Amino acid sequence: MKTTGITVRNFSHYYGQHQSLKNLNLDVYRNEILGIIGPAKSGKSTFLTCLNRLNDLIPGSRVEGKILIDNQDIYQPDVDVVALRRKLGLVFATPVPLPTTIYENVVYGVRLLGKNNHQELDDIVEDSLEKAGLWNEVKDRLKTSALKLSGGQQQRLCLARVLALKPEYIMLDEPTSGLDPISTMKIEDSLRILKNDFTIILVTNNTKQAARIADRTAFFLMGELIEIDETAIIFTRPSDERTEAYLQGKFG
C-alpha cells in the first residue's frame, strides 16, 4: 500500500512575470525515491524550493494552487516555515562545508536548535554520518577540517548535516553532478538504504541515475510536468514523445 506524503494540485510558481512552474499536479509517496529529470531551466530546482518554501526568500516569488504535505497546506500563513524546512531537508549540487571540523559541520544546525548535550551530539554525529555512508571513513578524524575531505566525502557530509536535523523528506538537487563515478555510486547506495526511513526526491541531470535508483520518475520541461510514472515505464515506453526524445538525447 502506498501512502501519499505530498500532494501537488494546480500548482504554479512565478518569478515576477516569468512563470517557472505551470499548473503541476502530482503526488509523492512515502518511502519512494522520486526522480526528477529534464533539461536546464525546466523548473526542477524551483519545484524543490517550493516544497520547503525556500522560494519565500526570493523577491518577486509567487505561487498559485496547493501543496499538501502530510495533509498540511504548506502555503497557509500560520505554517511554521522553519519547521517545514527541517522536515524537508535539501542537499545542493555543490557541497559547501563550513570551514570547521567534520563534527561541527554535522551538528551545526542541531546546535542552532539549542541542543548542546555532548552525548546527544556525539550520537547524532555517528548516526548521521553512518546513514550518509561516511562514518567509517571519518570516525577517527572527526575533529579535523571538513575542507580536507574529497568532493564526494564533502557531499556525503552535507547529506549528514541534513540528516542530523531529522528530516522526513530528503530533497537532493543534482547531488552528484560534480562527482566521479565511485563517489556517485556511494551516494546512490546511501539513498537506496535511506528510502526505508525517508522519502526522497532526487533531481538529476543524469537520466541514467534516475533509471538506476528512482522508483518513479517525473519529466519536467519548461515548467511543465510532461509525465510521471514508474521509472521502468518512463524509460521503456513513455507516453509522451518529448520524454522519449529527451531520453534519446535529442535535446537537453
Residues near ligand ADP (CB under 6 A): 15, 18, 20, 38, 40-46, 58
* CB of 45 or CB of 184, closer to Mg ion: 45
Task: Give the nearest distance from C-beta 131 to ligand ADP in angstroms.
Answer: 26
Choosing among Mg ion, ligand ADP, none, which partner's interface includes residue 184 (Cβ < 5 to 8 Å by kind)? Answer: none
Shortest distance (Å) from residue 44 CB to Mg ion = 5
C-alpha cell at 36: 526528477
Cβ 251 to ligand ADP, closest distance in Å? 14
Write down the least CB distance from residue 238 to Mg ion, Å.
Answer: 22
Tell me if residue 223 falls in helix, strand or coil.
Answer: coil
Q: Which one, 13 or 186, has the nearer CB to ligand ADP?
A: 13
Site stretch for Mg ion (CB under 5 A), options 13-21, 42-50, 156-164, 184-192: 42-50
Using CB under 5 A as the binding rule, whether residue 176 contacts Mg ion is answered as no
173, with CB counted inside 10 A (0-12, 13-18, 19+), is buried
Is-contact 153 137, C-beta < 8 A?
A: yes
Task: Give the number of other Cβ atoms within 10 Å of residue 215's Cβ.
Answer: 16
Span of 45-53, 83-91, 114-122, 125-133 interacting with Mg ion by CB under 5 A: 45-53
Cβ proximity to ligand ADP: between 12 and 31 the closer is 12
Binds 18: which of Mg ion, ligand ADP, none (CB < 5-8 Å by kind): ligand ADP
With vertex at residue 24, the alpha carbon angle to CA 19 and CA 25, rounded to the nearest 5 degrees, is: 170
41 binds, among ligand ADP, Mg ion, none (CB under 5 to 8 A by kind): ligand ADP
Q: Judged by CB, which is closer to Mg ion: 38, or 133?
A: 38
**One of 20, 42, 45, 183 touching Mg ion (CB under 5 A):** 45
Query: Minimum CB separation from ligand ADP for residue 20, in Å?
Result: 4
The x, y and z cell numbers of residue 161, run together, are 548535516
The least CB distance from residue 240 to ligand ADP, in Å, is 17
Residues sharing a CB contact under 8 Å with residue 151, sequence separation 6 or more, in sequence order: 95, 178, 179, 180, 183
What is the distance between the alpha carbons of residues 183 and 115, in angstroms, rounded to a whole number? Answer: 32
* Residue placing its CB nearer to Mg ion in the complex, 45 or 153: 45
Nearest-angstrom CA–CA distance, 156 and 162:
10
| Cα 129 to the center of its chain, rounded Å | 17
Sign of the torsion formed by the C-alpha atoms of 72, 76, 81 and 83: negative
Reference 11, options 71, 58, 75; nearest CA is 75
**192: how many CB neighbours lie within 10 A of its CB?**
13
With CB atoms as reference, the residue minimizing the distance to Mg ion is 45
Q: Which residues bind Mg ion (CB under 5 A)?
A: 45
